[in-house]
Amino acid sequence: MSETLNTDQAAWLEKAGILADALPYMRAHSGETVVIKYGGHAMGDDKVADSFARDIVLLKQVGINPIVVHGGGPQIGAMLERLKIQSSFIDGLRVTDAATVEIVEMVLSGSINKQIVSAINKAGGSAVGMSGKDGNLIRARKLRRSKRDPGSNIEKLLDLGFVGEPSEINPHILNTFEESDIIPVIAPIGVGSKGETFNINADTVAGAIAGAADASRLLMLTDVAGVLDDEGQLIKEMTVGQAKTLIQSGAISGGMIPKVETCLDAVGQGVEAAVIVDGRVTHAVLLELFTPSGAGSLIK
């Protein structure tokens, strides 16, 4: 004789069904490495941050190897303002002098990194925080940028100070984590050939790490739904060629261009697919990996 389910039983039955539906996707991704770039509003919202930590632990539990790379622009800006250190930007990149790079490293490798590590450990994981300096994980060189002067039409080199770009990623460090139960949480700080400290864009680091780790997926958590078409609708999937065409046509513009270019670079390095995902959505990582429709804009 059947019994009427109470509210709690019905809710758990629904959750059991969701887990069963997710099983094929868990099996498909088992043993793979997934790099997640974490930042923006997702990092500042405690509820979403706790949800993110649980999602990362779940990935590890089902046999996926997550690598977290985080940013921290707003937190760096707040600390510089608190210490009354002036800061400026050129083309979206923070000009980083000797005084500023010390604060950048302190915030990224210190408070932010340890907050994420603590959240993942509290959720039952075994996370270890590090920067690109640790084990020479990220060798870096000074980022060179130029800008054409509209008056003289002369190309001028821009000095961004201690802003760098990855020149080499040490795969040995990443492989060691993959073979253990440890979840690495990486701050985007690199080390130069003379031991200099370089501040590197977190998106760029995530893409370079994904390529070096032979990741199957690069998930770029952002503050928007993903790449939108001319009518404001989410583009759920595109090829590398289609993404380049959208950039050339202006359909992809502004701050979305460097994110898409990072995805293109990662795919070019052998990453199976890169996805721009709305990090403000609860369980965005799980929705992207374990549901048929995904949760963002996938480039492959």
What is the CATH topology of the domain spanning 33-223+254-299?
Carbamate kinase (3.40.1160)
DSSP line for 59-94 = HHHTT-EEEEEE--HHHHHHHHHHTT----EETTEE
pLDDT for 153: 61
DSSP tag of 36: E
Cβ neighbours, 10 Å, residue 27:
11
pLDDT the model gives residue 10: 77
Tokens of residue 162, six digits: 């201690």
Task: Determine phi and psi for 125, rounding to 5 degrees.
Answer: -90, 180
CA 32 to chain centre: 17
Residue whose entry in the numeric block shows the structure tokens 């790490």: 209
Residue ranges of the chain whose pLDDT lies below 50: 1-2
Q: pTM value?
A: 0.89
Pairing of strands 65-70, 183-187: parallel
Closest CA to 108 of 32, 199, 4: 199
Residue-range domain boundaries for the chain: 33-223+254-299
d(CA 14, CA 275): 28
Would you state the pLDDT for residue 37?
96
pLDDT recorded at residue 1: 41
